[in-house]
């Protein structure tokens, strides 16, 4: 699967899923404890932070944070430069959380100066949300630069920063650990596990201040944190098999050489993809300065014989799964370069795309 998650996983991860545990047995609780400890290490976070595991999709973990940490008298600035930033803004509407929406183009960089102006001109903004890897396009946002700007603002204009690092954590360098309060990711992205839970890496002091703000029961991640701290257990049924598989995925990440080596493999995957697709006549959406190495958007060819559905199905029938586009203003498809993939997989993909291209006559 050449997708940004769910993605291709290693045989050892899939094998680990076959082991059954009860949700309260000591061995399983040790696995959960190990996950929480190792995730902090992967991200380079200090002991000022802790990891809270939330059952469900990555989006549910994001909503858990948004609906729990913003106080009743608070307000959140949501930076929207793609579908996932807009999704956070939708969450604020559902939970009736006061919000300011700051939009940037899907193909544009976040203008740090405009963010600063928005924070200075709006009263009462307590939190700010931003997407690190916007998989709508494949863009990587400079969260480090944004966080450093915010750190220099007057205290009453300095919001708590929430980072959606869903598709970047474990596969992209993170250099903003000290400036943020919350980072959210999920099991089925760069750690190369399978879907079933999200992870919130949060500053302990920020979590303590957020107690009592929850607008839901099951998504109250502060109560989840307290339960994990006091008993080591989840409040409600955890995805046991998925957690065991994820623990194995963390081990494999370390065996590979950590985030640096995994990122190197992903970058090599993408370099090979870009060169091969370019030779086949496909054009990328983003300027290279904005392009991340997680997923790449390719513009539809301008040819009368091009048809996305036929192209997709022909590749699918040969065992290759691509990703449709998610842009609002341009027709694209996407190819992911993360997961248990290497140069052999991309050699096979590019060869097959060339064959399908000839068959379709474009």
Position 276 scores a pLDDT of 98
Q: Under a CB-based contact definition with an 8 Å cutoff, are residues 298 and 335 in contact?
A: yes
Q: Is 75 helix (H, G, I), strand (E, B) or coil?
A: coil
Band of pLDDT at residue 337, cut at 50, 70 and 90? very high
Q: Under a CB-based contact definition with an 8 Å cutoff, are residues 6 and 13 in contact?
A: no
Integer Cα distance of 165 and 95 in angstroms: 22
Q: Retrieve residue 73's tokens.
A: 């008298």
Strand order of the β-sheet with 332-336 is 295-299, 332-336, 323-324
Position 134 scores a pLDDT of 96
Dump the DSSP string for 103-144.
E--TTS---HHHHHHHHHHSTT--EEEEESEETTTTEE--HH
> Does residue 44 surpass a pLDDT of 80?
yes
pTM: 0.96
Segment holding 295, helix H or strand E: strand 295-299
Distance of CA 235 to the CA centre of its chain: 24
Band of pLDDT at residue 197, cut at 50, 70 and 90? very high
Q: What is the DSSP letter of 55?
A: E
Position 37 scores a pLDDT of 98
> Does residue 131 surpass a pLDDT of 80?
yes
Position 301 scores a pLDDT of 97
Q: Under a CB-based contact definition with an 8 Å cutoff, are residues 181 and 162 in contact?
A: yes
Q: Is 352 helix (H, G, I), strand (E, B) or coil?
A: helix
Position 326 scores a pLDDT of 79
Q: For the chain, how long is the longest CA-to-CA vector?
A: 63
Position 259 scores a pLDDT of 98
Rounded (to 5) percent helix, strand, coil in the chain: 45, 15, 40
Q: Which of 267, 256, 311, 327 has the alpha carbon at shortest distance from 292?
A: 267
Pairing state of beta strands 99-103 and 76-80?
A: parallel
> Residue 158, annotated ligand binder?
no
Integer Cα distance of 105 and 333 in angstroms: 18
HSE-up (13 A, CA, CB side) for residue 52: 27
Position 141 scores a pLDDT of 97
Position 271 scores a pLDDT of 98
Across the strands, what pairs with 340?
Answer: none
Band of pLDDT at residue 353, cut at 50, 70 and 90? very high
For the chain, the average pLDDT equals: 97
Integer Cα distance of 184 and 312 in angstroms: 31
Beta strands in the chain (DSSP E): 49-55, 76-80, 99-103, 127-131, 133-134, 139-140, 160-164, 182-186, 197-203, 295-299, 323-324, 332-336
Give the domain ranges of the chain: 11-254, 258-360
Q: Which fold has domain 11-254?
A: 3.40.640
Residue 53 backbone dihedrals phi, psi, to 5 degrees: -95, 125
More confidently predicted of 177 and 246: 246
Band of pLDDT at residue 328, cut at 50, 70 and 90? confident
Band of pLDDT at residue 97, cut at 50, 70 and 90? very high
Integer Cα distance of 124 and 157 in angstroms: 8
Q: Under a CB-based contact definition with an 8 Å cutoff, are residues 145 and 113 in contact?
A: no
Integer Cα distance of 333 and 356 in angstroms: 15
Position 329 scores a pLDDT of 83
Band of pLDDT at residue 327, cut at 50, 70 and 90? confident
Q: Which of 226, 93, 225, 210 has the alpha carbon at shortest distance from 162?
A: 210
Position 105 scores a pLDDT of 95
Domain 258-360 has CATH 3.90.1150.10: yes
83: left (phi over 0), alpha (psi -120 to 50) or beta: alpha
Query: Percent of the chain scored above 90 by pLDDT?
Result: 98
> Does residue 303 surpass a pLDDT of 80?
yes
Average pLDDT over residues 332-338: 97
Distance of CA 285 to the CA centre of its chain: 20
Pairing state of beta strands 133-134 and 160-164?
A: unpaired
Average pLDDT over residues 123-131: 98
Average pLDDT over residues 115-132: 98
């Amino acid at each position: 699967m050449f997708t940004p998650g769910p993605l291709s996983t290693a045989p050892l991860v899939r094998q680990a899923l076959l082991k059954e545990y009860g949700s309260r047995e000591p061995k399983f609780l040790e696995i959960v404890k190990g996950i929480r400890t190792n995730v902090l290490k992967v991200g380079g976070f200090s002991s000022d932070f802790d990891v809270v595991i939330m059952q469900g999709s990555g989006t549910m973990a994001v909503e858990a944070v948004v609906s729990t940490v913003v106080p009743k008298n608070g307000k959140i600035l949501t930076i929207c430069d793609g579908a996932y930033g807009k999704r956070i803004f939708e969450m604020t509407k559902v939970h009736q959380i006061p919000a300011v929406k700051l939009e940037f183009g899907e193909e544009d960089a976040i203008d740090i100066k405009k963010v600063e102006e928005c924070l200075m001109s709006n009263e009462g903004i307590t939190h700010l949300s931003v997407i690190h890897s916007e998989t709508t396009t494949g863009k990587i946002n400079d969260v480090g630069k944004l966080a450093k700007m915010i750190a220099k603002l007057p205290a009453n204009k300095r919001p708590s920063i929430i980072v959606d690092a869903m598709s970047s954590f474990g596969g992209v360098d993170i250099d903003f650990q000290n400036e943020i309060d919350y980072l959210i990711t999920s099991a089925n992205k760069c750690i190369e596990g399978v879907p079933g839970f999200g992870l919130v890496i949060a500053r302990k002091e920020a979590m303590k201040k957020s107690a009592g703000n929850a607008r839901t029961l099951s998504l109250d991640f502060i109560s989840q944190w307290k339960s994990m701290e006091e008993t080591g257990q989840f409040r409600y049924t955890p995805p046991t098999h998925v957690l065991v598989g994820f623990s194995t995925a963390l081990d494999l990440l370390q065996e590979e050489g950590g985030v640096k080596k995994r990122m190197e493999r992903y970058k090599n995957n993408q370099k090979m993809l870009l060169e091969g697709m370019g030779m086949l006549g496909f054009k990328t959406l983003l300027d290279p300065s904005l392009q991340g190495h997680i997923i790449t958007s390719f513009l539809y060819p301008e040819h009368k014989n091009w048809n996305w559905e036929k192209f997709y199905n022909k590749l699918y029938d040969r065992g290759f799964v691509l990703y449709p586009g998610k842009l609002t203003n341009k027709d694209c498809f996407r190819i992911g370069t993360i997961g248990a993939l290497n140069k052999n997989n991309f050699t096979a993909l590019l060869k097959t795309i060339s064959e399908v291209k000839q068959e379709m006559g474009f």
